[in-house]
């Protein structure tokens, strides 16, 4: 809210409020992680801390302390690692439970060699992208990381989840993640052939947008005591978010239709989240049984 009204209030206090938000968030849930003894989630605490660092760099850039481009890559890099890590936990677990509940005898492996290699390559490629964004070694690592994540995804039996959008959407978001890294890496090697913005928007509007939408929807359904399945309206909204991201990533490849695709992307993507707000917004102000 502070940043939204920087035209009416001084910039300095708005920036201070914004900068303090993520450290306060990290302290709040970090304390819970420590108290619960779940050391595995300390990685998430550290990652969100780096996201806060990216926000500080952004604010310093905004108020003119120094000119930098690190903040955007640090922020997106943290989001990439978090989705690769947490998505790799929840997607196979949710898929395994959903298939088992329907009597499917399908084995989904736990964390194995492929998973560990893919995650290590993702972290290394992100670090290189932050500090050496235009170097061939960065490009190769991003492409390899994308291939590794795609190989990881093939183990999770995603095709069997198409009937449930809230599960298939998670698999699709992870596909977007793998493709976005491959496209960003390819754009470094061949900028004349592969538009950088295509991979960038597949990562932001596609991976982050879709993963956020699905996880928020599952959480909202759970907290309002509803089954974890998509209604026709939510399934439509999910398709709009995914479709908007695909249109935005496609637009740089089709110069003659660039602006129409941009408008179509903005409308469909925003409409998907508007449907989410209209569906779950009223429920947020109602009391529900424990």
C-alpha closest to that of 52 among 71, 67, 33, 65 = 71
pTM, 2 dp: 0.88
CA distances from 13 to 6, 18, 55, 71 (A): 9, 9, 15, 20
Q: Which of 131, 11, 127, 135 has its CA nearest to residue 61?
A: 11
Distance set, CA 142 to CA 75, 122, 145, 146, 254 (Å)? 16, 7, 5, 6, 24
The per-residue pLDDT for range 225-236, each reduced to its tens digit, is: 888 999 999 999
CB 234 within 8 A of CB 279: yes
Q: What is the pLDDT of residue 93?
A: 92
pLDDT digits over 78-88, tens only?
999 999 999 99
Percent of the chain clearing pLDDT 70 (strictly above): 99
Q: Is the dihedral of CA 199, 202, 205, 209 positive or negative?
A: negative
Residue 51: what pLDDT? 87
Cβ-proximal residues to 126 (8 Å cutoff; 6+ apart), any chain: 77, 80, 81, 145
Measured in whole angstroms, how far is the alpha carbon of residue 264 from the centre of its chain? 21
Q: Classify residue 204 by its DSSP letter.
A: I
Residues in CB range of 22: below 8 A, 6 or more apart: 48, 49, 51, 52, 55
Domain residue extents for the chain: 69-282
In this structure, are residues 122 and 95 in contact, taking their beta carbons and an 8 Å threshold? no
* pLDDT for residue 31: 94
Q: Which tokens in the block code for residue 94?
A: 């949710």
**DSSP state at residue 229:** S
The three-state secondary structure class of 67 is: coil
d(CA 131, CA 120): 17
Pick out the chain residues at pLDDT < 70.
Answer: 287-290
Fill in the DSSP letter of residue 287.
Answer: -
């Amino acid at each position: 809210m502070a940043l939204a009204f920087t035209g009416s209030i001084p910039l300095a206090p708005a920036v201070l409020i914004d900068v303090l938000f993520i450290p306060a968030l990290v302290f709040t849930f970090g304390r819970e992680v420590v108290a619960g003894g779940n050391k595995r989630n300390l990685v998430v605490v550290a990652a969100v801390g780096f996201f806060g660092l990216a926000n500080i760099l952004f604010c310093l850039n905004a108020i003119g302390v120094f000119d930098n481009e690190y903040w955007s890559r640090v922020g997106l890099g943290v989001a990439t690692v978090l989705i690769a890590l947490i998505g790799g936990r929840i997607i196979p677990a949710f898929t395994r439970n959903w298939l088992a509940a329907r009597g499917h005898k399908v084995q989904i492996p736990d964390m194995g060699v492929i998973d560990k290699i893919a995650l290590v390559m993702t972290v290394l490629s992100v670090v290189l992208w932050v500090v050496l964004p235009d170097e061939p070694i960065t490009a190769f690592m991003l492409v390899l990381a994308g291939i590794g994540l795609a190989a990881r995804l093939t183990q999770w039996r995603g095709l069997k989840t198409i009937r449930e959008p809230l599960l298939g959407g998670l698999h699709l978001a992870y596909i977007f993640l793998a493709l976005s890294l491959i496209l960003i890496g390819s754009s470094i090697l061949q900028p004349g052939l592969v538009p950088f913005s295509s991979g960038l928007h597949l990562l932001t509007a596609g991976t982050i947008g879709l993963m956020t939408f699905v996880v928020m929807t599952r959480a909202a359904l759970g907290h309002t005591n509803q089954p974890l399945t998509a209604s026709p309206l939510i399934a439509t909204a999910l398709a709009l978010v995914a479709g908007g991201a695909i249109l935005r990533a496609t637009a740089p490849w089709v110069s003659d239709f660039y602006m129409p695709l941009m408008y179509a992307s903005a409308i469909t993507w925003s409409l998907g989240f508007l449907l989410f707000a209209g569906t779950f917004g009223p429920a947020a102000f109602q009391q529900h049984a424990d």
